[in-house]
């Protein structure tokens, strides 16, 4: 498997494979009862998928572990063409899926297929503070051979700050979705809140999905979606999907799962530069992120 090459679509770097099927992605036909889980990469997508699946299956762990993560919630724009033996088309999987469907995307809000808005679909968006997102994204690039070459830590930080990474600028992504939530059915969650009070955040999801579960089931979901349990769950940890693509001996997909790991990577000078740049890029939003708990 070769590392992905990027090609910009309306200013957003996507993989060349996604780029090649873009017309079909854009024309995707959403259905009114579709649920979309949307994030900038590494914000806690898989965690949210596990929570949503557990809710949908009323806490039945066995049912949740029937499929692989890539198949239970088609990854809308992710495409690995033939001749790769890893061929994957999130689009095709989604089209063939019976309703109600849950899908996943990392697209910035302006690239979401318009029919999601026309059908007034529910969307759960999860955001994570930029410093931990950057650290997590860097490690993910290193262990996942399907991602572009990250370069050194310094180089990757630069690319992240300038939006020259897959799915574009983190800053524009979180801001764009933040604005969109005022007009559409979007539940906007934060990774840090999920860490601090998972029960409360799961309850927000329940309310959004108009689901009511017993306290017992809720506690079961809490337990099974904890970092410790998910780390041992081969499906959540992506050890079943795409064998050979992720080098779990380098870092497992469930790497650390904490807030503030950035402190182990940012030098004082890098932190200062990052903060100054952040202030400029985020001056036009009311969004507030916590980089520690
Ligand atoms: P780290 O690399 O910081 O450990 P995504 O699913 O969007 O790719 O996000 C992956 C990140 O979410 C990883 O962060 C992973 O460890 C973390 N994560 C996954 N499940 C989690 C959980 N149950 N609790 C806390 N963090 C979790």
Cα 113 to Cα 26: distance, rounded to the nearest angstrom:
5
| pLDDT tens track for 81-95 | 998 888 999 999 999
Q: Of the residues 41, 46, 133, 264, which should be mutated to test ligand 1's pocket, given the most ligand atoms within 8 Å of the CB?
A: 46
Q: How far is the CA of 277 from the centre of ligand 1 (A)?
A: 25
At 90 the pLDDT is: 97
106 is catalytic: yes
Q: What is the pTM of this model?
A: 0.98
ipTM for this model? 1.00
C-alpha distance across the termini of the chain, in Å: 39
**Which amino acids bring their CB within 6 angstroms of ligand 1?**
39, 41-47, 132, 136, 139, 225-227, 230, 254-257, 261
Q: How far is the CA of 44 from the centre of ligand 1 (A)?
A: 5
Cα 137 to Cα 161: distance, rounded to the nearest angstrom:
12
**Strand order, beta sheet including 102-105:** 102-105, 35-39, 122-127, 186-190
Cα 66 to Cα 41: distance, rounded to the nearest angstrom:
24
Cα 106 to Cα 99: distance, rounded to the nearest angstrom:
21
At 69 the pLDDT is: 83
Contact 105, 112 (CB under 8 A): yes
Q: How do the pLDDT tens digits run along the chain, 293 residues long?
A: 789 999 999 999 999 999 999 999 999 999 999 999 999 999 999 999 999 999 999 999 999 988 888 889 999 999 999 988 889 999 999 999 999 999 999 999 999 999 999 999 999 999 999 999 999 999 999 999 999 999 999 999 999 999 999 999 999 999 999 999 999 999 999 999 999 999 999 999 999 999 999 999 999 999 999 999 999 998 888 888 888 889 999 999 999 999 999 999 999 999 999 999 999 999 999 999 999 99
Q: What pairing do the DSSP bridges indicate for beta strands 79-80 and 35-39?
A: unpaired
At 275 the pLDDT is: 98
DSSP letter string over 147-183? SPP---HHHHHHHHHHT-STT--HHHHHHHHHHHTTT
Q: How far is the CA of 80 from the centre of ligand 1 (A)?
A: 23
Query: Could you say which of 73, 106, 139, 173 is catalytic?
Result: 106
At 241 the pLDDT is: 81
At 89 the pLDDT is: 97
């Amino acid at each position: 498997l070769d590392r992905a090459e990027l090609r910009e679509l309306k200013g957003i770097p996507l993989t060349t494979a996604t780029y090649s099927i873009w017309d079909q992605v854009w024309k995707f036909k959403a259905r009114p009862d579709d649920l979309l889980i949307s994030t900038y990469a590494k914000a806690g997508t898989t965690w949210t998928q596990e929570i949503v699946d557990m809710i949908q299956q009323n806490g039945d762990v066995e049912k949740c572990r029937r499929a692989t993560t890539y198949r239970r919630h088609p990854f809308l724009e992710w495409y690995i063409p033939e001749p790769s033996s890893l061929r994957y088309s999130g689009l095709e999987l989604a089209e063939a899926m019976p309703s109600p469907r849950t899908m996943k995307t990392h697209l910035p809000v302006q690239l979401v297929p318009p029919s999601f808005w026309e059908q007034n679909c529910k969307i759960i968006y999860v955001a994570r503070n930029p410093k931990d997102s950057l650290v997590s994204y860097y490690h993910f690039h290193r262990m996942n051979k399907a991602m572009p070459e990250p370069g050194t830590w310094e180089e990757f930080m630069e690319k992240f700050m300038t939006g020259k990474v897959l799915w574009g600028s983190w800053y524009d992504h979180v801001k764009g979705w933040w604005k969109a939530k005022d007009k559409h059915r979007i539940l906007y969650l934060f990774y840090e809140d999920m860490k601090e009070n998972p029960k409360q955040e799961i309850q927000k999801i329940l309310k959004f999905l108009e689901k009511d579960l017993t306290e017992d089931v809720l506690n079961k979901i809490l337990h099974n979606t904890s970092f410790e349990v998910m780390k041992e769950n081969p499906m959540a940890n992506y050890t079943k999907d795409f064998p050979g693509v992720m080098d779990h001996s380098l870092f497992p997909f469930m790497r650390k799962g904490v807030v503030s790991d950035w402190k182990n990577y940012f030098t004082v000078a890098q932190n200062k530069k990052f903060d100054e740049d952040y202030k400029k890029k985020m001056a036009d939003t009311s969004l507030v992120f916590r980089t520690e708990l």
